Amino acid sequence: MPVPEVDSILESIQRHRVRWLLGVPALYRMILENDRFELYRLDSLKYCFCGGDVLPEEVKERWRERCGIPIYQVYGSTEVGHVAYSRIGEEPSPRAIGYPLKSRACLVVDPETLAPVAQGESGELLVTSDYTLKEYYQKPEETRRTFVSVAGRTWCRMGDFVSAQPSGELIYVERSADIIKHKGYRVSASEVEAVLQDHPTVIGACVVGIPDRKVGERIKAIVVLKEDARGVGGTELLQWCRDRLAAYKVPSYVEFRDMLPKSKVGKLLRREVRDEERRKISKEKTPQLRTGDKT
């Protein structure tokens, strides 16, 4: 199914008695919001996994209530394949991406020095294995940016910040490109998005940093509401964030849209939103010529 159509997915699960399901958070939310969800028999499902983005706690809890089973986590990339999985029968910690597979070596490092960080501290995740890529074909510059040598081994820079717990479980902190630098603080875009998506009227949220000379970047939230949402405005959503986030993490303002750009599998394309916002700023700064002006 190149395009996820919820009714087709649910009908296939019922017809084929599917036991294992892998989806992005948006897919699980789409299934839960489907008006005909209760009409399908889904009791064959035993193992539900989520990857590609942070799973909001609200979606995880609603899935457990409706289906009676947890959503486990899986983490990986094209270059290194699957890296980590939740343990079956063990409740994943909030924002966890699982435990590293035995076939993958993981290292959490300072992104500037590549020195390992202390256990429990946040750092960039490096991954290597005897079975994974060590370079991009005929792309030396991309290879230098992505693959680094540490302790005599070639590691892939995942571009994700994580922390390793004493148990070995990896906790997702943020995608390095999606950290907003606001007033000297590092703000996780996905953390703010998760809080917004916990609001009962919000079905989608994208948080980006808008360049600002005074504060580095202003935090902007772009939100999609449920069709039947009534009377919900930016003031209410900002107060929702203030009640749940540190003051410096609260968005400066909220914009409402009918939809957000997503990939074919439903993954939020935050980079497209960020690029769009920066193009707007660039256009605003460009002086507009009036009739008679000289170029």
In this structure, what CATH number is given to the domain that contains residue 216? 3.30.300.30
Same domain (yes/no): 109, 161: yes
Give 255's strand partners.
222
Domain with 148 in it:
95-176
Q: Which of 138, 161, 176 is the last residue in one of the domains?
A: 176
Strands 47-50 and 20-23: parallel
Domain tally for the chain?
A: 3
More confident residue, 251 or 25: 251
Using a cut of 0.85, tell me whether the model's pTM lies above it: no
Q: Which of 111, 145, 176 is the last residue in one of the domains?
A: 176
Same domain (yes/no): 192, 243: yes
Closest residue by Cα to residue 263 from 13, 76, 74, 25? 25
Alpha carbon distance 183, 40 (integer Å): 49
Residue 294 has pLDDT above 50, yes or no: no
Would you say residue 37 lies in a domain? yes
Residue 118 has pLDDT above 60, yes or no: yes
pLDDT at 221: 96
Would you say residue 54 lies in a domain? yes
Same domain (yes/no): 230, 259: yes
Q: What band does 208 get if pLDDT is binned at 50, 70 and 90?
A: very high
